[in-house]
Chains A and B, each alone.
Chain A
Amino acid sequence: MNTVLPSVAEELIREIKRNFQETSQISDEHLLALKFIFGPTALQALDLVDQRSVTRVTSPSGRTTFQVTGSSGKMYTCYSFCHYCSCPAFSFSVLRKNESLLCKHILAVYLSQATGTCQERTVSDQQICDILLAKEL
């Protein structure tokens, strides 16, 4: 996801990626930093990454977006270029309460990209319209 987080979070994700490429794991130090910056969302997002819940969806036109299977099995859409997730936590904690930087699904997108664990799926140009509109497929 090519988005700009607050610089400290952005740097951490970059470091995790660099470290993961060398050691194939996320260090304890980085796990603590994730917990420090993102709170309980960090652990929930790591769970989603472990379960390979993040899928990068691409259509032949080049349009891309992400789908994340939540802990309840429900599928949420996270945009590629902008912080938006169709889950209720994003609406409540990020938009309404302004308590969090992002929801666990968006953080899972960042972490799955950093760890190279993002699934890939190609759909038709028509199908991706429905995914972008977060319609149930």
Chain B
Amino acid sequence: MAQVFVRVLDELLDTSHVRCDPGLPPPGPSHHPTPQDRESSITGLQGPGYVCSALCGPQGPPLLLIGPHDCGKTALLFMAAVVAAEEGAGPVIYLSRDPLQKLPGAGKLARDPLILKQIRFLYPKTLEELLQLLSSLHLTSPSPYLLLLDGLELFLSPGCSPTDGAFLSALLLDSSTNLRCGLLVSAVPPSEVVDGVFMTVERYFPNQCHLSPEVSTDVEQKKYSIAYLNNLPERFLHIHQDGTLRIFDNQPNKIIEPNGQKIGGRRYH
């Protein structure tokens, strides 16, 4: 769910660290995306090749969060689950193949531990189990407010076909739209450049957010850029060794050469 995801990023936003880099315009209201900008930029993207056309529910359009292993996707999804549970509008369903080993540390320091009771953690082991679960979501009462799936790629084994990827994506979208609940999915893209199954999945999710590692000499924290497919202003995620997450609107300590080329923040794939 894009809106919850944006609220999570806003909560993690480190406003104490905003610094004007040489060569960049001074910070000001016009350089920070307004909530309206964010919402309009992450809704309604349609393009050639997309087969998805799921309607936006009241919680905004479904969002696919794509990034490598250990880039904080699980922590961000978990935070989205907690933030949605705190809103109290209904149950939150958190799907993952493997149980969470520890609670990701992020966001507000003081949270009511009882809020976790509002989150239903389900751990289907196979694609069949997951499909079964999604097809019977309407049997759960009350209807979920937010549906999260962490690690979609873990359910698509190398033997799966593009049809399997489409079936899973379509059932996720159809279920969440039918039940009018939000949908937030995370996935690790395949290492190969071309993968028919994952490409099919991406065709169902026009709204995507990509986490890409940033080159950094900092050993204490890992840095990632957060980019949307549709030109929403880029943000940066820093993950400290202790698992703490912080979000920056500008990349701190990024050096910009006079010709505008980034030195400290070059992105690679």
Contacts and interface: CB of A to CB of B under 8 A. Distances in A.
Contacts, number: 79
Contacts of B170: 79, 82-84
A62 B52 CA distance: 22
Interface stretch (A1-9, A15-23, A46-54, A68-76): A1-9
Interface of B: 46, 49, 51-55, 131-132, 135-136, 138-139, 161-163, 166-167, 170-171, 173-174, 177-179, 196, 200, 203-204
Contacts of B173: 79, 81-82
Q: Which of B55, B162, B174 is most buried by chain A, counting CB atoms within 10 A of its CB?
A: B174
Q: For chain A, which range describes its interface: under 10, 10 to 19, 20 to 34, or 35 or more residues?
A: 20 to 34
Nearest to B172: A82
Of A79, A81, A96, A128, chain B has the most CB atoms within 10 Å of the CB of A81
Q: Is the interface of A mostly helix, strand, loop or mixed?
A: loop
A62 B142 CA distance: 13
B54 A81 contact: yes
A84 B167 contact: yes
A96 B178 contact: no
B177 A82 contact: yes
B51 A95 contact: yes
Nearest to A101: B51
Interface of A: 2-5, 59, 61-65, 79-84, 91, 94-96, 98, 125-126, 128-130, 132-133
Contact of A82 (B52, B138, B163): B52
B138 A91 contact: no
A57 to B, nearest CB: 12
B55 A2 contact: yes
Given A59-B138, A95-B203, 19 more contacts: A2-B55, A4-B53, A62-B138, A62-B178, A63-B179, A79-B173, A81-B173, A81-B177, A82-B173, A82-B174, A82-B177, A82-B204, A83-B52, A84-B174, A91-B166, A94-B51, A95-B200, A96-B196, A126-B139
